[in-house]
């Protein structure tokens, strides 16, 4: 008996978590703290919204189909922005605009994998990556990240088989927040290059990196396009999550293959969203720097408040980007704890079991906190509620 592709994977985790809210009442004295999804809840900058409104009213072409790989001006601007950040050489024809970064990942996998091909993904993983691999008929090869929550290049090398087509890295990481250093990224790139496979590097949260150093040196490699497939999202930087604008940087030959997938799935990315992303890159650098500063201040608030949790047996496993990744001290699995926390503490977050293969015991001890939508007072309240949980300990 055969099964449809969608039956090969699990339900969307964020949607599943939202169902835990059904039938639960929250009071003004203790409102819900929702740290389940890493997305801005505020609309774009007012000037950006005005630019989008002008585009809607005055740019007739913005309401028609556009180029499958994106607006030429946006592709050129992204190439130049990439050079400005990383150095090296990037051409417009090495860029493509997609309907969100998830679609960029799906397009990349579609250019790489046939039925049963393997992709190495560090765990805890970004669950949408696992879901797409399942539905694409590819095999996700989990790579355990121990201790510092970073992948070990030697472990990666040992996992490569004749069916391996790619290694996936997310930095700053979702779900752990960990920022991978250049020497680690470079070492994994060199492994991929030497074995003739791709390195898919998802930097959705790069605009909120804690360091002002160049995130990595891969674009300075003269032949980067032969190995690297770089993914990015405009959603977090410019609060455009509802407009679904992402990007994929790779060789023109690979983008020609991706174009087949993109044309079939969406034809073209949102024209209004693309114009918004372009306007944001041209006009909002100072504002974006302020957004980064605010995220870093919230990250600092997590660090400042963490001793209250440490005293209760909690452990901070990772912090960065939009995320704090915690190990809880309780005897029950995080799959049970997370729904319980909605009722007992008015906190909605995701359990570690959503970021691990089924049955992996490590996921049962972990929780992801997407803190970017809480101010310092909100973070203090979150920590206070977590510290007050009175449950059987391991």
In a domain, 353, yes or no: yes
d(CA 299, CA 318): 11
The secondary structure of residue 302, as a DSSP letter, is: H
Tens digit of each residue's pLDDT (9 = 90 or more) over 108-165: 999 999 999 999 999 999 999 999 999 999 999 999 998 899 999 999 999 999 999 9
Tens digit of each residue's pLDDT (9 = 90 or more) over 237-258: 999 999 999 999 999 999 999 9
Residues 279, 353, single domain; the answer is no
Q: Which residues constitute the domain of residue 345?
A: 5-43+287-387
pLDDT above 80 for 2: no
In a domain, 392, yes or no: no
Q: Which two tokens stand for residue 104?
A: 């960029």
Query: Do 41 and 373 meet the contact criterion of CB atoms below 8 Å apart?
Result: yes
**Interval 89-112 mean pLDDT:** 98
Residue 317: which pLDDT band, with cuts at 50, 70 and 90? Answer: very high
Helices 271-283, 72-86: crossing angle, 10 deg rounding = 40
Residues 263, 296, single domain; the answer is no
In a domain, 55, yes or no: yes
Domain finish residue from 284, 307, 334:
284
d(CA 141, CA 133): 10
- Ordered DSSP codes for 107-123: HHHHHH--TT-EEEEEE
pLDDT above 70 for 313: yes
- Ordered DSSP codes for 252-277: HHHHHHHHHHHHHHTSS--HHHHHHH
Residues 100, 245, single domain; the answer is yes
**Weakest mean pLDDT among 48-57, 90-99, 189-198, 204-213:** 204-213
d(CA 385, CA 388): 5
The number of folded domains in the chain is: 2
Domain finish residue from 226, 253, 284:
284
Residues 72, 92, single domain; the answer is yes
In this structure, what is the dihedral angle of CA atoms 182, 214, 304, 333, given to the nearest 10 degrees?
A: -40
Residues 178, 310, single domain; the answer is no
Q: Which residue has the tokens 């950040």?
A: 85
- Helix-strand-coil percent breakdown of the chain, rounded to 5? 50, 15, 35
Phi and psi at residue 89, to the nearest 5°: -130, 125
**Interval 285-311 mean pLDDT:** 96
Q: Which two tokens stand for residue 388?
A: 């007050």
Residues 57, 154, single domain; the answer is yes
d(CA 281, CA 263): 26
- Residue-level pLDDT at 38: 81
Residue 367: which pLDDT band, with cuts at 50, 70 and 90? Answer: very high
In a domain, 393, yes or no: no
In a domain, 357, yes or no: yes
Q: Which of 139, 146, 105 is nearest to 124 (CA)?
A: 146
| CATH code for the domain of 105 | 3.40.640.10
Name 145's Cβ contacts closer than 8 Å, sequence gap at least 6: 122, 123, 124, 151, 152, 176
| CATH code for the domain of 341 | 3.90.1150.10
- Ordered DSSP codes for 45-75: PHHHHHHHHHHHHH-GGGGS---TT--HHHH
Residues 20, 109, single domain; the answer is no
Residues 215, 320, single domain; the answer is no
d(CA 252, CA 255): 5
In a domain, 78, yes or no: yes
User: What length does the chain have?
Assistant: 394
Residues 25, 73, single domain; the answer is no
Output the 3-class SS for 179-201.
CCCHHHHHHHHHHHHHHCCEEEE
Residues 167, 253, single domain; the answer is yes
Residues 137, 274, single domain; the answer is yes
In a domain, 394, yes or no: no
> Where are any strands of DSSP class E within the chain?
33-34, 95-98, 118-123, 139-144, 164-170, 198-202, 228-233, 246-249, 315-320, 323-327, 347-348, 350-351, 366-370
d(CA 91, CA 80): 8
**Interval 369-384 mean pLDDT:** 94
pLDDT above 70 for 1: no
Domain finish residue from 251, 284, 317:
284
Residues 230, 305, single domain; the answer is no
Give how far Cα 326 sits from Cα of 153, 181, 206, Å. 24, 21, 21
In a domain, 307, yes or no: yes
């Amino acid at each position: 008996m055969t099964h449809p592709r969608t039956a090969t994977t699990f339900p969307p985790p964020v949607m599943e978590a939202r169902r835990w809210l059904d039938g639960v009442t929250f009071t003004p004295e203790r409102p819900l703290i929702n740290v389940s999804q890493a997305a801005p809840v505020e609309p774009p900058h007012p000037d950006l919204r005005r630019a989008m409104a002008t585009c809607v009213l005055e740019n007739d072409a913005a309401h028609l189909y556009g180029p499958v790989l994106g607006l030429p001006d946006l592709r050129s601007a992204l190439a130049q922005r990439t050079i400005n950040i990383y150095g090296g050489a990037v051409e417009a024809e090495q860029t493509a605009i997609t309907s969100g970064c998830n679609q960029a990942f799906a397009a990349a996998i579609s250019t790489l994998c046939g039925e049963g091909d393997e992709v190495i993904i560090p765990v805890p993983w970004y669950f949408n990556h696992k879901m797409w691999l399942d539905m694409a008929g590819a095999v996700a090869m989990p790579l355990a990240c121990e201790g510092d929550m970073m992948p070990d290049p030697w472990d990666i090398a040992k996992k490569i088989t004749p069916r391996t087509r790619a290694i996936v890295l997310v930095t700053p990481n979702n779900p752990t927040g960990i920022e991978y250093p250049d020497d680690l990224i470079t070492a994994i790139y060199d492994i991929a290059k030497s074995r003739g496979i791709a390195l898919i590097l998802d930097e959705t949260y790069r605009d909120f990196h804690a360091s002002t150093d160049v995130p990595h040196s891969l674009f300075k490699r003269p032949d980067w396009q032969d190995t690297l497939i770089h993914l990015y999202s405009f959603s977090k930087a410019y609060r455009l999550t509802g407009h679904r604008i992402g990007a994929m940087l790779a060789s023109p030959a690979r983008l020609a293959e991706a174009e087949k997938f993109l044309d079939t799935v969406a034809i073209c990315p949102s024209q209004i969203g693309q114009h918004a992303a372009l306007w944001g890159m041209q006009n909002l650098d100072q504002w974006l720097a302020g957004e980064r500063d605010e995220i870093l201040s919230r990250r600092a608030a997590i660090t400042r408040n963490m001793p209250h949790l440490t005293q209760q047996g909690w452990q901070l496993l990772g912090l960065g980007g939009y995320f704090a990744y915690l190990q809880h001290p309780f005897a029950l699995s995080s799959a049970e704890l997370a729904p319980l926390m909605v009722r007992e503490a008015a906190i909605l977050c995701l359990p570690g079991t959503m970021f691990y293969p089924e049955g992996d015991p490590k996921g049962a001890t972990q929780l992801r906190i997407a803190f970017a939508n809480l101010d310092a007072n909100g973070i203090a309240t979150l920590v206070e509620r977590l510290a007050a949980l009175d449950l059987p300990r391991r």
